[in-house]
Amino acid sequence: MTGRATLRRDNLSRVLRHLRDHGTCSRADVVEATGLHRATVSSLMTELIAMGLVREAGTSTTGAIGRPRRDVALDGSRVGALGLEINVGYVAAHGSDLGGRVLFSARSGFDAAGAGVSGCVSELARMAGLAAAEMGTLAGVVVAVPGLVSQGVVTFAPNLGWRQAPLADLLRAELGVTVEVGNDANLAALAEYACGVAAGTPDMVYLTGEVGVGGGIIVGGRLLQGADGFSGETGHLPVDPEGARCACGHTGCWETKVGLAALDPPGATGLGLDARVDQIASAAEAGDTRTLNALAEVGRWLGLGGSILANLFNPRAIVVGGYFAKLASRLLPAAQAELERRAVAGGRCRIVASELGFEAAARGAAGTVVDRVLDDPLILSPGPRELLRDHHPVEQ
């Protein structure tokens, strides 16, 4: 891309983000906020309107002299952003438009570990088809998976039994749209940061509570990636060298202590994720001693691992999702007490339950598609090529 094209893309992005963040406003507002030349803003608006991303929003009068101004607003309705998630016991989808309006949301039980990569690709394609039927054209798809991801390839997902699965390519072949793949906890952390219970908290950690336990770490308002994009593998912190074998092949990983299996009563295997959580909640409600003891133990281990994260990252909040959130009243008091007992820097770190449910990762995945479009609206369409030229129509 030439320097001029890059500048054009960045300017389009600035204007779109301004409209997304500030709602309906006049061209003059955009000129003032972005510092761009008036003619440039006018040209950018013409292009964005032609792309269907901005619409005229009527006229209003401001100021003492009552000069009329022509308002514009983000028109996200033609952009369908789809987030998908494949996890051990389910597949989920969350679709939104460019403005974040929810267009589709679904989750269904699915034996992803038993289905293998190709079975999961088929199931994801089926879910995407249902979403597309409601949403119209998809601008892109991001898929959340519980594992290590590099360049669209799931390099290792212990609880799914996958190694080197080229998920982005396989799903792109099915759907015919751009597909990206990301780690489920990282994507859920982005959703929490954008619209969760601790939204906007610049230093926070998100933990998935599922069969596996992943982490997404936000430091200074940015997701911590690591050298290979693998940071946040909290579930495999070796907390007990003498402990049980983990799906990753090592022993005593944190997820062997706090993953859902640590709470399952004997014989619970074969039940779906939701049924397992419901069964544990009912047993606790009925005062079942084994369940209450197991919850207390998981709560303590949650706090112990939380204290490691508090010492490492000094987060203001550790947001716990998935089943941790469903059983929060049983788990969090013990976890908070343990964290404060062990962490040197733990006193001001609260462990809080996510309110986004098991859909958090899919929501974060959809948000990532929205970000891609806001970063570079030109990915949506080749568009009328002449609009890409830097011309300045006379403002009317």
Binding site for Zn ion (CB under 5 A): 236, 246, 248, 250, 253
Can you tell me the distance from the alpha carbon of 41 to that of 266, in angstroms, rounded to the nearest whole number? 65
Q: What sign does the CA torsion over 70, 73, 77, 80 have?
A: positive
Q: How far is the CB of 317 from Zn ion (least distance, A)?
A: 25
SS3 210: coil
Q: Which is nearer to Zn ion, 80 or 232 (CB)?
A: 232
- For residue 83, give the nearest of 156, 7, 135 by alpha carbon: 135
Do 55 and 49 meet the contact criterion of CB atoms below 8 Å apart?
yes
Q: Which is nearer to Zn ion, 173 or 244 (CB)?
A: 244
DSSP structural state of residue 15: H
Q: How far is the CB of 89 from Zn ion (least distance, A)?
A: 18
Q: How far is the CB of 377 from Zn ion (least distance, A)?
A: 41
Q: How far is the CB of 157 from Zn ion (least distance, A)?
A: 12
Q: How far is the CB of 165 from Zn ion (least distance, A)?
A: 18
SS3 109: strand
**Counting runs of H as helices and runs of E as strands, what totals does the chain give?**
12, 16
Can you tell me the distance from the alpha carbon of 322 to that of 162, in angstroms, rounded to the nearest whole number? 22
Tell me the backbone φ, ψ of residue 95, rounded to 5 degrees.
-120, 140
Q: Which is nearer to Zn ion, 204 or 298 (CB)?
A: 298
Q: Which is nearer to Zn ion, 17 or 250 (CB)?
A: 250
Long-range own/partner contacts, residues 65-70 (CB < 8 A, 24 or more apart): 69/26, 69/27, 69/28, 70/26, 70/27
Q: Which is nearer to Zn ion, 211 or 294 (CB)?
A: 211
The position carrying tokens 């690591």 is: 226
Q: What is the identity of the amino acid at 174?
A: E
Q: How far is the CB of 154 from Zn ion (least distance, A)?
A: 16
Do 142 and 365 meet the contact criterion of CB atoms below 8 Å apart?
yes
The position carrying tokens 């003498």 is: 242
Q: Which is nearer to Zn ion, 97 or 233 (CB)?
A: 233
The position carrying tokens 């990636």 is: 225
Q: How far is the CB of 253 from Zn ion (least distance, A)?
A: 3
Q: Which is nearer to Zn ion, 8 or 236 (CB)?
A: 236
Q: How far is the CB of 264 from Zn ion (least distance, A)?
A: 18
Q: Which is nearer to Zn ion, 140 or 259 (CB)?
A: 259
41 CB burial (10 A radius; 0-12, 13-18, 19+)? buried
In this structure, what token pair is assigned to residue 148? 């290590």
Q: How far is the CB of 341 from Zn ion (least distance, A)?
A: 25
CA dihedral 130→136→142→145, nearest 10 degrees, is: -10
Q: How far is the CB of 211 from Zn ion (least distance, A)?
A: 12
Q: Which is nearer to Zn ion, 53 or 246 (CB)?
A: 246
If residue 84 lies in a helix (H) or strand (E), which one and from where to where? strand 80-87
Q: How far is the CB of 187 from Zn ion (least distance, A)?
A: 20
Q: Which is nearer to Zn ion, 117 or 148 (CB)?
A: 148
Q: Which is nearer to Zn ion, 212 or 367 (CB)?
A: 212
The CA radius of gyration of the chain, in Å to the nearest whole number, is 23
DSSP structural state of residue 238: B
Q: Write the DSSP string, 183-204.
A: EHHHHHHHHHHHHSTTTT-SSE
